[in-house]
Amino acid sequence: MKSISLLLALYLFQPAALAYIWPNPPIDGLEDAYTISSGFGALGIVDDVTPCTLGPAGSGRQTSAEWLRTAYHDMATYDSATGLGGLDASIGFETNRPENIGTAFNTTMSFFNVIQTNHMSCECVILAIKNCGGPSIPFRPGCIDATEAGPSGVPQPTESLETHIHHEFARQGFNATEMIGLVACGHTLGGVHQVDFLSIVANAITPENQEGVVHFDDTSGVYDNHIAVQYFNGSSVDPLVINSNSDAAIFGSDGNQTMREFAQDSEFYISRCGELLERMLNTVPSSVKLGDVIEPLPVKPYDMNLFFNATGGLQFSGFIRIFGTSDEAAAANPLDMPVRLVWLDRHGGSSTSYTTPAVSAEFMAATSLFGSLQFFQFVDVDIDPSLGISSFVVEWAYDQQSALTTANNGGAGFPYQDVILFQTKGSCHGAVDKNSTINAVVSTSLNKILIINTHPFRFGTTWAPSPMYMWTTASRRRNKAR
């Protein structure tokens, strides 16, 4: 058992910087969350910011804007000279500071905790921006969550332009031009809340707008360049331009050059915002090394399961996800797409019988913000228990008339071991206490099996990231295979 545990540990924690070949447990879930926006397999992240103006009913708040604001406030403590601070979720310990006024931060961190895996908060911000019409921002895993508050230093609307340029943004690693861009790229969503900034906004509270939110521009539900267009043509509604003058001072600090370029070219605005927000989200403590950019895999197995059925037969079930960005992918009818599995046995052998019919897959609806996405389900594929399975490839096409393409996971196929088999029957998750019982079959030959009943205990925290699990083996019994 010790050797099995060691092998599993090495398997589960392989470096994320390696080329993304399935399976890669440290990032598989992150890639799913990034790629699957709605429908089958989605975590519901995008649902919480759809439409882009969505927020608590009657409050005037906007969830997408709050996620973006939370990310900036978390990053804004970074000190480029010392390498301390930056995007590390320490804001969860800093919400009582005057510089982090408002309910947005606690609400945002509470949501992130619900869907928490490592680095998921960055993904939420990226997905919110894209869902609102903004740029596609590359996502790098590897953030490490802080366990205590970091330094203060979020720029405030009451501070001078000199302080903003030469102290706050310079400390973060942004020059004067980049400062203008970052503010303009952040203030395209949301607005200023009267309940938090009484000296800037007045007479805005209504029954339908209980926090008295006054938007930065006339399209607060769309990530676009209207913040610049309205500023430049004199029709700005931004309270930080009209009232406090803090945005106006920043925007005009280069003679309006940057805002002019943003106002005149919406594509340039989106592109430049993508660059600046990517830098913001990658601004982490110097001790943290981010991994390679995660991109959607063209073909990916999902929720695969090899198990013994009630009669003792060995069966394989699961889903194949196909993603594409081409016009052909967008035009494809999933009901007309042939998809099949071809596998090798435990000894690496092949046979014409080691395949599923190309028409056996059942389509499962899903969408992606970044391309076209389809799921295909395979149910109870029979596997010879005396030979097992070691890997498989996926053969597929966008229509019945086209030649099948073979997805081989970088050349070696999609590996699948038949030594430890998760048994869905007898496994359960407690709805109240959150404890689970997991049954598994362990065998080297499938002639003898070892049933393991394992109980994980979750130690909950409040909003805090990285929930902890402790595993204990409750019982073992040796049986003969049926």
pLDDT tens string 329-368: 999 999 999 999 999 999 999 999 999 987 667 889 999 9
In 3D, which of 463, 466, 465, 467 has the Cα closest to residue 95? 463
Residue 306 pLDDT:
92
Label residue 440 exposed, middle or buried (CB < 10 Å: 0-12, 13-18, 19+).
middle
Judge if 359 and 465 occupy the same domain.
no
Pairing of strands 391-396, 414-415: antiparallel
Final residue before a domain boundary, out of 363, 389, 415: 415
Beta bridge pairs of residue 343: 392
End-to-end alpha-carbon separation of the chain, Å? 23
DSSP state of 287: T
Please report whether residue 12 resides in a domain: no
| CATH number for the domain harbouring residue 362 | 2.60.40.2440
| pLDDT value of position 311 | 86
Does 5 fall in a domain? no
Would residue 1 count as lying in a domain? no
Mean pLDDT of 384-391: 94
Identify the sign of the CA torsion 380, 384, 386, 388. Answer: negative
Confidence check: pLDDT of 475 > 60: no
Backbone angles phi, psi at 150, to 5 degrees: -100, -170
- Could you say which of 281, 311, 346 is where a domain stops? 281
Q: Which of 22-26, 35-39, 79-83, 437-441 is predicted with the least confidence, judged by mean pLDDT?
A: 437-441
Q: Which residue, chain included where needed, has tokens 């267009």?
A: 229
Can you give the residue range of the structural domain that contains 454? 420-480
* Ramachandran angles phi, psi of 18, nearest 5°: -70, 160
pLDDT of residue 157: 87
Give the pLDDT confidence of 41-50 residue by residue, as tens digits. 999 999 999 9
| Residue 430 forms part of a structural domain | yes
Whether 293 is covered by a domain: the verdict is no
Do 151 and 232 fall into the same domain?
yes
Q: Are residues 223 and 370 in the same domain?
A: no
- pTM for the complete prediction? 0.84
Per-residue pLDDT for 478 more than 60?
no
Residues 255 and 311 in one domain: no
Residues 254 and 195 in one domain: yes
Same domain membership, residue 276 and residue 138: yes
Summarised one tens digit per residue, pLDDT across range 256-305 is: 999 999 999 999 999 999 999 999 999 999 999 999 999 999 999 999 99
CATH of the domain at 83: 1.10.520.10
Residue 78 within any structural domain of the chain: yes
Quickly list DSSP for 314-375: EEEEEEEEEEE-SHHHHH--GGG--EEEEEE-TTS---TTSB--TT-PEEE-EE-SSSEEEE
Q: Which of 232, 279, 283 is nearest to 260 (CA)?
A: 232
Q: What are the pLDDT digits (tens) for 152-173?
A: 989 988 889 998 888 899 999 9
Residue 16 within a domain: no
Q: Tokens for 406?
A: 């073979």
- Assess whether 354 and 397 both reside in one domain: yes
Residues 88 and 142 in one domain: yes
Q: Which residues of 101-134 are buried (b: 16+ CB within 10 A; e: fewer)?
A: bbbbbbbbbebbbeebbbbbbbbbbbbbbbbbeb
Residues 313 and 437 in one domain: no
376 and 252 housed in the same domain:
no
How many domains does the structure of the chain reveal? Answer: 3
Query: What share of the chain has pLDDT > 90, as a percent?
Result: 70
Q: Tell me if 398 is assigned to some domain.
A: yes
Residue 58 has pLDDT above 80, yes or no: yes
Query: Do 243 and 316 have their domain in common?
Result: no
In this structure, are 157 and 193 located in the same domain? yes
Residue where a domain stops, chosen among 415, 445, 465:
415
Query: What is the percent of the chain where pLDDT is above 70?
Result: 83
